[in-house]
Amino acid sequence: MDKLFGNKASAKEQLRKTDKDLRKSERDLAREDRVLERQEKQILIQVRKQRERTKQATIQVAEVRNQSKTMGANMTLANTVAGATKAMSGMNDMMNPQQLAKTLGEFRMQSEKMGITEEIINDNLDDILNESGDEEESQNILDKVLDEIGIEIKGKLGEAPGVLSNVPGSSKVSDDDLEKQLERLKAL
């Protein structure tokens, strides 16, 4: 009855009431914490979804950029091929296959003729050069070798029989022979 008339509750009851109020506040705070945690999870899920969408958009933009580069490279290649085709077409129009074959045939024939002419000239020059200086050069070399080993032949060679120079069929080339060979070269 003390309550009706305004008596104060005892300390024990007041402690119990305070404890009850504090537990209720703890439950309310725990409930609020769970609500906030759920909201945080939902926000985190939304952020992750947004990050995934952003990644996908970045990948698509990169693909479009790569396709654009590829298309540019293909256009450059097509222009290059078109230019090369035009150049080849122009060269084919300028080139006459029959005329080219004829020119190459003439070149081959002239090359062969030049080879034959060179061979004849070399043979004649070899003949002329072999007759004039080779004997003297050979004799000088032989004399030097023999001098080194101490044999003297010069005196004894004068006593040896010589070669006749006016023998028919000798290897000496006359002016008439040279003129005949020159005429043959001109005929080629």
Q: What is the pLDDT of residue 160?
A: 54
Name every residue whose Cβ is closer than 8 Å to that of residue 9 and which is 6 or more positions away in sequence: 3, 17
Q: What is the pLDDT of residue 140?
A: 76
Evaluated on CA atoms 156, 160, 164, 169, the torsion sign reads negative
Provide the whole-model pTM: 0.36
Q: How many residues does the chain have?
A: 188
Q: What is the pLDDT of residue 1?
A: 45
Task: Write phi, then psi, for 172 (nearest 5 degrees).
Answer: -75, 130
Q: What token pair was written down for 39?
A: 């909201």
Q: What is the pLDDT of residue 7?
A: 59
Please give the chain's pLDDT, 188 residues, in tens. Answer: 455 555 566 888 999 999 999 999 999 999 999 999 999 999 999 999 999 999 999 999 999 999 999 999 999 999 999 999 999 888 877 878 888 888 889 999 998 888 888 888 888 777 776 665 556 776 777 777 777 776 555 555 555 555 544 444 445 567 788 888 778 777 76
